[in-house]
Structure 1
Amino acid sequence: MSSSPSPSARVGRLAVVAVGLCWLAVLFDGLDMFIYGSVLPHMLAEKALGLTPDKAGDLGSYATFGMLVGALTAGTVADRIGRRKLMVACVALFSLASALCATAGSVAVFGLGRTLAGIGLGGLLPTAISMVSDYAPRGRGALTIGMLMTAHHAGGILSAYVALWVVEPLGWRAAFWFCVLPLLFVPVLVRFLPESLSFLVAKGRTDQARALAGRYEVELPAAPAEKQAAGDRWNALANLFRGGEWTQTLLYWLASFGGLLLVYGVATWLPTLMRSEGYNLGSALTFVVLFNLGGIVGMLVAGRASDRFGAPRISAIWFALTAAGVFLLSVHMPPALTFTVVFLTGVFLNSAQTMIYATVSIGSRPENRATAVGWTSGMGRFGAVFGPWLGGQLLAANNGDWGFTAFALAGLSSMVFIGIAALRGSKRTASTGSGQELVGAH
C-alpha cells in the first residue's frame, strides 16, 4: 500500500478526471431516463403510436425492467472485466437504443428500444458510483457520491427543456434523436477514463495500480484479504449474506424497492399528473425542472449530512419528509405553494435513495463494492418496474390523486426499513468500535 498523501493530494488529477467523466456520463443517463416522462404528455395528447395511459405505464415499466437487468448484472460484470469497459458499453447502448425509439413505428418497437436503453442506464449508475468511490477523499465518500448524482438531476432538467424547445416544433421523435448525441462522448471515455484502482488491485495488477495512483497522487486501495476463486461469479453475491450480513442486506434491498418505486413512479408521471390537475404543458414541465433542481440541492446537503451523521439515518429522515411532500401534491394548493412543495420533495426524494447506495458502497470491501451496490440497486429495480405501471393504472382509472397517496406510502415503507437498518448499524458500530469512515457500515 502506498504512503498516505496529504489531504490536498488526495483530490488529485485522477479524482478530477474520473469524477468529471463519470458526472458527464450520469448526466446523459439522467437525460435518457427523464426524457420519456417529459415528452409523455405530448405523446398522450396526440395519441402517438396509439398510446393510452395504461400502455404508457407499461412502456415506463419496460425501461425500468431493462434497468433491473442492467443493475443486477453490472456489478458482477464490472468486477470481472473492469468498470471502465462497462461504462463505455452502457453509454453506447442507451444512446443507440434511443435511435430505435426515435424511428419506432409501433408500441412494441418503442418498448424494445426503452428496454435496451434501460439495460444501459441500469448498468451505468452503480458502476459510476463504484468508480467515484475509489477516488473520494477519505471521510467524504457520501458527499462525492452525492455530487455525482447531481448529474442525474441535471439530465432531468435538460430533458424538460428538450421537451419544451424541441418537441413542440419538431415532434416527440426529435427528443429521442437528441438522446443519441451522447454516442459522441464514447470516444472521450475510451481515451481519458481511467480504470478503477480497486479493480486493478483485486485482479492482482498491483504494479499497474501503484503506477497509476502515484502518477495522479491518490491513495492505493488495500489488497483484498481473500481473493475470489477464478470463475466463481456468485462468490461476491454470497459475501453479502455471510457472517450475519443477510439481515442488513435484505433491509437495504427492501428500502431500495420502496425508494425506487417512488423515484421512478414520480419521474414518469409527475408532468402528466400535474397536467391532469389543470396545469398546462409548460407549467407541468416547470415542475420537472423544480423537482430536479431540488434533487441537486438535496444530493449536496444529504451527502454532507450523511458524512457527519450516517447515511442510513439521513436517508430515513429524508424518506419521511418525502412521503409528506408527495402526499401534499394531491391537495389543491396555490401555485406558489405547489412549486415550493415540488422543489422540497425533489430535495428529499432523490437523495434519500442515493444515500442507500452511499451506505452500501462505503461499507463494502473494495473488491466486492460493485456487486454490493449493483444488487442493492437491482433489487430496488423491482420497485422501479412497479412504480410506472402503478401510476398508469391509477391514471387510466381516473384516480390520479391516489397515485400521489400510493407513492407516499412507498416512501413511508422505505423510512421504516432504512430506519431499522440504521438502528442495527448503530448497535454493531458501538459493539465493534468501528471508525466513522464507514458511514453506517453493515
Structure 2
Amino acid sequence: MYSSPSPLLSARGSGPALLAVGLCWLAVLFDGLDMFIYGSVLPHLLETRTFGLTADTAGDLGSYATFGMLVGALVAGTVADRIGRKKLMVSCVILFSLASGVCALAGSVTVFGLGRTLAGVGLGGLLPTAISMVCDYAPRGRGALVIGLLMTAHHAGGILSAYVAKWLVDPVGWRAAFWVCVLPLLFAPVLAKLLPESLSFLVAKGRGEEARALAERYDVEVPAARTGSTADRWTSLAKLFRGDEWIQTLLYWVASFGGLLLVYGVATWLPTLMRAEGYELGSALSFVVVFNLGGIVGMLVAGRAADRFGAPRISALWFALTAAGVFLLGVHMSTTVTMIVVFLTGVFLNSAQTMIYATVSIRSDADHRATAVGWTSGMGRFGAVFGPWLGGRLLASGNGDWGFTAFAIAGLSSMVFIGIAALRSSRQEPTGGERELAAVH
C-alpha cells in the first residue's frame, strides 16, 4: 500500500489524510486553550477579588472543570457508539465554546462554576474521541507517531492561553479571554463539513461499504469489527483482580491518580504559585508558555525513549525528574534558571503520565489490555479533580509555599508505585503496535 516506509504519509491519499488529522489537531488545540485559560487568568481573578474569589474557592472552580472532564471521558465512548465520533467531536467543540461564553457573561461564582463544569464535559469528551479518530486515519505503522503529534496540540493550546491572557487581561479584562474561547464555535461547521466519520464506527454499525470507500479514499486500512458484549467487558475487568493481579491493578491506579493530580494541579496553579514566589504576572504567564513548550518536546521524546529503554523505566525516571523540577520551582532563583527548570519540568511532567498508560498496556494480557488502560485512566481522573482543589486549600491556609512541595510528593509517589508495579511483573514488553494502545491522555 505504501511506496516507502519513511514518509509520514504516502503520496496516495496523503492530502485527505492530512486534512483529517489536521482537523483533529485544531480541535485539540482549542481543547487545550479552553483547559489552560482558567489557570492563565487565575492570578488576575485572585488579585482583583472577582466574585469575592479566594484561593479555596478558586481551587474548587478548578476542580469543577476536571470533574466535568471525568464525566465527559466516561460517557464519550457510549455517546460516540450511538451518534458517531464525528458528531460527538463537533458537539464537544460547541459545548465547551458555549460554556466559555457562560463564563464570560457570569455575574456570580455559581454561574462561572457552572460554565467551567460544562466546559469540562466537552473537553473530557473531545480528547479521547479525537485520539480514536486519528487512529482510524493514521497511516499503517504510524499510529503512535500521529497520536504524539496530536497531543502536541493540547500543549500548543496551553501556550496560546498564556498569550491570550497576557494580551487581553490587563488592557481589556478577564472576560475577553473567555470570549476568545468562544471563537471555536466558528470552527464547528468546518469540522462538521470536512471531517470524515470514524471508520470504526461505520464498521460497528454495519456500514461496511461506506467504511471501505472512505478507507480507499484516505489510503488507510478498514479496522476490524469489534467483538465482545458488555458482559465480556465486565469479565475483562474482573480479570484485573484475580489472584495477585489486584495488587498490580491498584498500584497502576494509585500511580495514575498521583500523576494526574500532578498534571492538573500544576496546570491550574503554576501562574498563581509563581506569582506567590515573587514573579510579575507577565513572567508568570511566560512560564506557562515555556512549560507547554517543554510538554510538546516531551511528547515527541518520551515514546522514542520508551522504545529504547522500556516504558516502565522511563515512567519511573520521568516522575523522579518531574518531582525534582517541581520542588525546585518553590525555590526563588534567577529568571533564566527558573525558565530552564520550568521547561525541563514540562518535558518530563506532561509525558510521565502517558508512560503509565504505556506501562499498563505493556504489562497487561491482550484479552483485557484495553480494559486495563481505560480503568487506569479513569481512576487517574479522580486525581485530576483533587489536584486543583489541593492547591487552592494550601494557598487558602497560608501554606502556598508548600504547593510545589505537595505536587512534588505526588510525583515521587507515582514513581514509587509504577516502579513497584513494573518490578512485580516479569512479562516481556511487546513491540510498537501494542504501545499505540497506550497513547491516551
Name the structure 2 match of 1:411. 411
Residues 310-337 of structure 1, C-alpha deviation per residue, up to 9 Å, x if partnerless? Answer: 4443222211111111011112222211
Residues 113-139 of structure 1, C-alpha deviation per residue, up to 9 Å, x if partnerless? Answer: 000001111111111122222333444
Conserved 8 A contact 1:202-1:367:
no
Name the structure 1 match of 2:72. 70
Separation (CA, whole Å) in 2 of partners of 1:94 and 1:362: 34
Residues 38-88 of structure 1, C-alpha deviation per residue, up to 9 Å, x if partnerless? Answer: 001111111111111111111111111111111111123224432222111
Conserved 8 A contact 1:72-1:374:
no
TM-score relative to the length of structure 1: 0.88
Name the structure 2 match of 1:202. 204
Q: Which runs of 5+ in 2 are unaligned?
A: none
**Using a 3 Å threshold, how does the CA distance of structure 1 residues 354 and 330 change in structure 2: closer, same or farther?**
same
Code of the residue aligned with 1:74 in structure 2: it is: A
Name the structure 1 match of 2:278. 278
Code of the residue aligned with 1:346 in structure 2: it is: G
2:434 is equivalent to residue 438 of structure 1 = yes
Which of the residues 185, 197, 202 maps onto 1:183?
185
Residues 175-201 of structure 1, C-alpha deviation per residue, up to 9 Å, x if partnerless? Answer: 111100011111111111122223333
Conserved 8 A contact 2:85-2:197:
yes
Conserved 8 A contact 1:75-1:373:
no
Separation (CA, whole Å) in 2 of partners of 1:287 and 1:342: 7
Which of the residues 234, 239, 242 maps onto 1:242?
239
Code of the residue aligned with 1:120 in structure 2: it is: G
Conserved 8 A contact 1:359-1:440:
no
Conserved 8 A contact 1:130-1:369:
no
**Superposed displacement of residue 211, structure 1:** 1.7
Conserved 8 A contact 2:143-2:436:
no
Q: How does 1:24-423 map to 2 (within 5 A)?
A: 24-224=26-226, 226-228=227-229, 232=230, 235-236=232-233, 238-242=235-239, 250-357=250-357, 375-423=375-423
RMSD of aligned alpha carbons: 2.9
Code of the residue aligned with 1:184 in structure 2: it is: L
Conserved 8 A contact 1:320-1:412:
yes
Report which stretch shifted further, 208-217 or 6-15.
6-15
**Using a 3 Å threshold, how does the CA distance of structure 1 residues 395 and 253 change in structure 2: closer, same or farther?**
same
Q: Percent identity?
A: 77
Code of the residue aligned with 1:128 in structure 2: it is: A
Conserved 8 A contact 1:315-1:418:
yes
**Using a 3 Å threshold, how does the CA distance of structure 1 residues 178 and 168 change in structure 2: closer, same or farther?**
same
**Using a 3 Å threshold, how does the CA distance of structure 1 residues 276 and 401 change in structure 2: closer, same or farther?**
same
Separation (CA, whole Å) in 1 of partners of 2:167 and 2:219: 44
**Superposed displacement of residue 346, structure 1:** 0.5
Separation (CA, whole Å) in 2 of partners of 1:17 and 1:61: 34
Separation (CA, whole Å) in 2 of partners of 1:359 and 1:180: 37
**Superposed displacement of residue 209, structure 1:** 1.8
SS in 1 for 2:433: coil
Separation (CA, whole Å) in 1 of partners of 2:98 and 2:367: 31
Q: Number of aligned residue pairs: give it.
A: 431
**Superposed displacement of residue 352, structure 1:** 1.4
Conserved 8 A contact 2:32-2:156:
yes
**Superposed displacement of residue 370, structure 1:** 8.3
SS in 2 for 1:438: helix
Report which stretch shifted further, 120-129 or 4-13.
4-13
Separation (CA, whole Å) in 2 of partners of 1:193 and 1:371: 28
**Using a 3 Å threshold, how does the CA distance of structure 1 residues 410 and 417 change in structure 2: closer, same or farther?**
same
